[in-house]
Amino acid sequence: MPYGHAYSLMCSGPMALYDLINRDPKIPAVAERAVEYEGLVRDGARLRPPAGEAYRSIESPAPVADADVLGVSVTNAGGLHQVLRQLDLAGIPRCTADRVPGRHPLVVGGGPGLTNPEPLADYLDAIALGEAEQSFPELLQVVHTYRLDPGPVPLHQQLARIPGLYVPAVYEHAPAPGGGVTAVRPVAPTVPARVHAPYLSVAELPTAHFCSPVSDGSAAVITPVLGCLHECHFCTLGVPEFRQAPLDLLTGYIDRLEAHGIRQIIVSAPTFTQYRHKRALLDHIRAYADRAAAMGEKVSTIIGSVRADEITADYLTALAELGDFGHLFTELALDRPRGIAPSPPSSPPRTWSPCTARPSSGSGSTRRSTCAAPAEPSAP
């Protein structure tokens, strides 16, 4: 991921996949993580490893470029260009057409920043739309099988059959005079005409989606809610169905943090004020903070962020009782234009996507690089 290790640990999607892949013995893969760690050399807008060294994952000395599958996560559209920088850093060709199967990794993108995947369609082999806890393990299984026995069907066409995966290379665009397209068609009958983004129920999501599976020993992350009850024009949080983590899952996790002496709790939920159990959760954190204070230690809580128009007197009272806390507020100025960070094109831009978002209630092992930090203990 294009972040340092501390921030990468707060990225619930990649960390949940990392935990899922390494925890499930049925998945023929080992997940490793790569971030922008200290020691990388800045060269203008580019990053490169020190002379004579390769960009490596955290868990092994193997270069990232030697992975079978490389997963890249994009938090928002302003970070699209960072995918290209990460590929350059690893020494992997940017364009899908320039990568050689078996020599270069299969590059798979995901995250909210790829809600519209077309700006990076020429650079990614596949994009996992929505939540990837089901589509990504299936992708790993297909890649594993293909490496053992390629068969007559090309790999990209096999991947396109997986629900939730958009594979740009298996669609052809008919350009219109003056710009745009007149039609977008799959190149084979087995390729779907449209790809829908899957959003899973609370029961289908692993606990790591709500509670960080890895901590650096000082802080840990909880995600009480997914989605948002509002549908603002500049934000994609309102696209998936609004879901809330079970209270006992979060309070049990906080109890384990206390047992391990982790004193900073990060509530990573941009719509935390919409969580129906927020007062009970804050009271549980306060009880932990009181016990720590009796031992001469301090528990800090960081909440980021909430909508200012959803703050109530009861909520502010609960916050004040926490003692040491930090808070971020969601910007509500809708009358100002949002910033745009363009991605440098190397081919004519695409103007249409067959993707739509629709809410809905060891040999041959594969390696995937995501995010985290060196020498961090596993969270309980």
| Tens digit of each residue's pLDDT (9 = 90 or more) over 98-136 | 998 888 999 999 988 888 888 899 999 999 999 999 999
Rounded to an integer, what distance in angstroms lies between the CA atom of residue 154 and that of residue 166? Answer: 15
Q: With contact defined as beta carbons under 8 Å apart, do 285 and 292 qualify?
A: no
Rounded to an integer, what distance in angstroms lies between the CA atom of residue 301 and that of residue 312? Answer: 19
pLDDT at residue 199 tops 50: yes
Distance spanning both ends of the chain, measured CA to CA: 24
pLDDT at residue 348, as a whole number:
42
CB neighbour burial string for 70-107, b if at least 16 within 10 angstroms, e if fewer: bbbbbbebebbbbbbbbbbbbebbbebeebeeeebbbb
Task: State the pLDDT confidence band at 237, using cuts at 50, 70 and 90.
Answer: confident
Q: What percent of the chain has pLDDT over 70?
A: 82
246, amino acid identity: P
Mean pLDDT of 219-230: 90
pLDDT at residue 278 tops 60: yes
- Look up residue 133 and give its two tokens: 């806890």
| Half-sphere exposure for 139 (CA within 13 Å, toward CB) | 30
284, amino acid identity: H
pLDDT at residue 294 tops 50: yes
Measured in residues, the chain has a length of 380
pLDDT at residue 38 tops 60: yes
CA angle 238–241–244, rounded 5-degree value: 105
- Look up residue 148 and give its two tokens: 């053992």
Task: State the pLDDT confidence band at 337, using cuts at 50, 70 and 90.
Answer: very low
Q: What is the DSSP letter of 296?
A: T
Average pLDDT, whole number, for the chain? 81
What does the longest C-alpha to C-alpha distance in the chain come to? 73
DSSP H helices, the chain, are 5-8, 12-23, 80-90, 135-148, 155-160, 247-259, 278-294, 313-322
pLDDT at residue 311, as a whole number:
80
CA distances (Å), origin 326, targets 8, 281, 303, 322: 19, 16, 6, 10
pLDDT at residue 44, as a whole number:
75
Beta bridge pairs of residue 307: 330
CA angle 67–159–363, rounded 5-degree value: 40
Q: With contact defined as beta carbons under 8 Å apart, do 5 and 36 qualify?
A: no
Q: What percent of the chain has pLDDT over 90?
A: 43
The single residue listed with the structure tokens 């039609």 is: 183
pLDDT at residue 13, as a whole number:
81
Q: Which of 344, 366, 351 is nearest to 144 (CA)?
A: 366
pLDDT at residue 6 tops 50: yes
Rounded to an integer, what distance in angstroms lies between the CA atom of residue 355 and that of residue 236? Answer: 14
CA distances (Å), origin 327, targets 221, 230, 267, 333: 15, 20, 10, 18
CA angle 361–281–22, rounded 5-degree value: 60
More confident residue, 337 or 252: 252
- Look up residue 144 and give its two tokens: 């594993």
